[in-house]
Structure 1
C-alpha cells in the first residue's frame, strides 16, 4: 500500500521539475484503517504554497483509487525559523509608474521609524534599486559574499540585494524563466538577511514567472499596489489585482498608491492632473481597495532618485508624504 502511495506522490511536481519524493519533502507515511497520514518537512513556509501542495497530493492519491473511502491527513513541519517578520511586495501591472522609487522611499521611511528593513529588487530584467541608492560596482566585490551566503549591501540603513550587483551597468539580462526562479530562490533563502521587521520586495511589471515564483517561495504578508490615474495603467493594475486574488494565490492587498497624481503650476500653484483626476481613488472604491495615499509629480523626487538618494532623507515635504503612506501600510498590515 505504501508503495502505491509513494507512486502517487511521484506525480506531485514542484517548480524545479522534481517530485516531492525526489525532493525529500516526504518524511513518513502512516496507514491507520482508512486514514492516510503523510508527514512533510518544508523549507518553504508560504501558506499559498502549502495549500496548493495539499490539493495536489490529495488529488493524486484519490486518482489512484487506492482506497474506496479514505481520509487523508497531511502534517507539515517547516525547516526554517522565520527571521523576517513581515514581507511586503510592491507591485503594478504597468511599468514606469514608480514602483522602485516608492519601494526605496518606503524602506528608508521604515528605517527612520526605528525598524530593521531589507529591500529585495526582484526586477531581474530591469533592476534599478542600485541606482536609487547610488551603489556602485566597486562596493560590491568585497561585500557581497560572506561564509557562502549572499551578504546584502547596507545603504541608508537598508539591507539591499539586487541582480544589478552582479551585472555591469546597462548590461542586458537575457534569461529564461527557470534561471530567474533559481536566482530568486538564492536571493530569498541563501541571503544573510539577519532579523528584519520588514522585507520590501520591488516586483517587476506584469503577472509572469517572477511573480508566481515569489508567491510560491515566500510568505507575503501583503501587497502594495502602485499606479497612475491613466486608464492604460489602471487596466494593467486591474490584471495584477486579479492575480493576487486568485484563490490558489490569495495574498492580501494592503492598498493602492496613486503616484504622479498631479503637478503644481508655477504661477498659481494650482493642481494640474497630468494623468487624469481621481482615477486611482475611483478604482480603489470599485475594487474595494484601501487608498494608501497620493504622491504628486515633484521634480525633487526625480532629482534625488537620479543622485541615488531617497528623497525622504533630504526634503521635508517628500518625507511627510511617504511617512503618511508608510503609516497607512503598517495600519493595514495590523488589520489584515
Structure 2
C-alpha cells in the first residue's frame, strides 16, 4: 500500500473541510472572554445586517452546551437533515440566514449536552466537513464564552479563517478577559479584526438622558492597547432581550434606529477591515 493511500481520518476530515470552505469567502469567529456580554446578539445582528446588505450569510452555532442562535434567529420546529448525497443541510431562518446548531439535531432541546472536550471538537469538525454550505459571502461562527475546546477546534482546523471579532462590555473586569481572548487569538495565529463594545450606554425613553451604566470607553481603550481596530459600540436597549426571546431580533433592528445605526456602522467597518486583507 502506498503512503499516499494511507490517509488518516483527521487528514481526510481536514481535506473535506478545506473543500467545503472553498466556497465561503469570509469566515468570522465571534469570541468573548466571558459570558453575559451579548456575544450571540452581536453575531446574530451582524449576520442580519450583512444579509440586509445583500450578502449570502450562514451562522455556525458552535456553543455546544448553550446553543441560542436558532431561537434568536426565529427558528421553531425545524431540524437539519441529510440529503440523498449524504450532505447535512442547514436550516434557513425567516430572515434568510442559514443556521447550523447542535440544537437543530436534538429531538428534545431541553436535554443538556453532556460531552467532554473531544466530543465537542468532533461535533464542530463534523459540521464544518459535512454541511453543504453552498456559496457564501460570510460564515459567522458564534463561539461559546472563553477560550476552551470549541474555540481551540475552530482555530486549529478551519483553514483561512478571516479573523475574530472580540465582544466585550464596558467594565473593568472585561479588560482582563479581553486580553486573554486576544492572547488566545495571537497564539493560534488568528487575525483580530477588532473589538465591539456591547451595552455601552442606556438612553432613558422618557427623558432622553443617557447613562453609562457599566463604565465607559473600555472597548476603545482596549483596542488601542492591543493595537487592533475598534469596530464600534452598541447601546443597551431592553427590547433586545425580549425580541431575542421571541425570535424577532430583526424587528427590533428595524424599529430601533439607534441600535440599527450602531450595527450598520459595525458591519461597514468589518467589511472595510476585511478589504485590507
2:269 — aligned with what? 328
Question: Distance between the aligned counterparts of 2:40 and 2:13, measured in 1?
Answer: 35
Do the aligned residues in 2 keep the contact of 1:94 with 1:205 (CA within 8 Å)?
yes
How much does 1:21 deviate? 5.5
Question: Distance between the aligned counterparts of 2:156 and 2:166, measured in 1?
Answer: 19
2:162 — aligned with what? 221
1:255 — aligned with what? 194
Do the aligned residues in 1 keep the contact of 2:121 with 2:149 (CA within 8 Å)?
yes
Single out whichever of 220-229 and 273-282 deviates more from structure 2.
273-282
Question: Distance between the aligned counterparts of 1:103 and 1:41, measured in 2?
Answer: 26
1:270 corresponds to 2:201 = no
Q: Highest relative contact order (Cα 8 Å, sep 6+), 1 or 2?
A: 2
1:1-336 matched pairs, under 5 angstroms: 23=8, 43=15, 82-136=22-76, 138-140=77-79, 144-147=81-84, 148-155=86-93, 156-167=95-106, 168-219=108-159, 220-246=161-187, 249-310=188-249, 311-336=252-277
How much does 1:22 deviate? 5.3
**Cα distance 1:206–1:44, how it changes in 2: closer, same or farther (>3 A)?**
farther
1:48 — aligned with what? none
Question: Distance between the aligned counterparts of 1:188 and 1:299, measured in 2?
Answer: 35
Do the aligned residues in 1 keep the contact of 2:200 with 2:233 (CA within 8 Å)?
yes
Moved over 4 A (4+): 78-81
Do the aligned residues in 2 keep the contact of 1:119 with 1:200 (CA within 8 Å)?
yes
How much does 1:233 deviate? 2.1
Please give the secondary structure, in 1, of the residue aligned with 2:200. coil
RMSD of Structure 2 on Structure 1 (CA): 2.4
How much does 1:190 deviate? 0.2
* Alignment coverage as a number of residue pairs: 269
Do the aligned residues in 1 keep the contact of 2:47 with 2:59 (CA within 8 Å)?
yes
Do the aligned residues in 2 keep the contact of 1:94 with 1:236 (CA within 8 Å)?
yes
Please give the secondary structure, in 1, of the residue aligned with 2:154. helix
Please give the secondary structure, in 1, of the residue aligned with 2:166. strand
**Cα distance 1:194–1:41, how it changes in 2: closer, same or farther (>3 A)?**
closer
Please give the secondary structure, in 2, of the residue aligned with 1:296. strand
1:10 — aligned with what? none
Please give the secondary structure, in 1, of the residue aligned with 2:145. coil
How much does 1:265 deviate? 2.9
Task: Report which of the two structures shows the higher radius of gyration computed on alpha carbons.
Answer: 1
Q: Gapped runs of 5+ residues in structure 2?
A: none
For residues 61-106 of structure 1, what are the alpha-carbon distances to aligned partners after superposition, in whole Å with 9 as ceiling and x for unaligned?
A: xxxxxxxxxxxxxxxxx66670011000111111111111111111
How much does 1:41 deviate? 11
How much does 1:130 deviate? 1.2
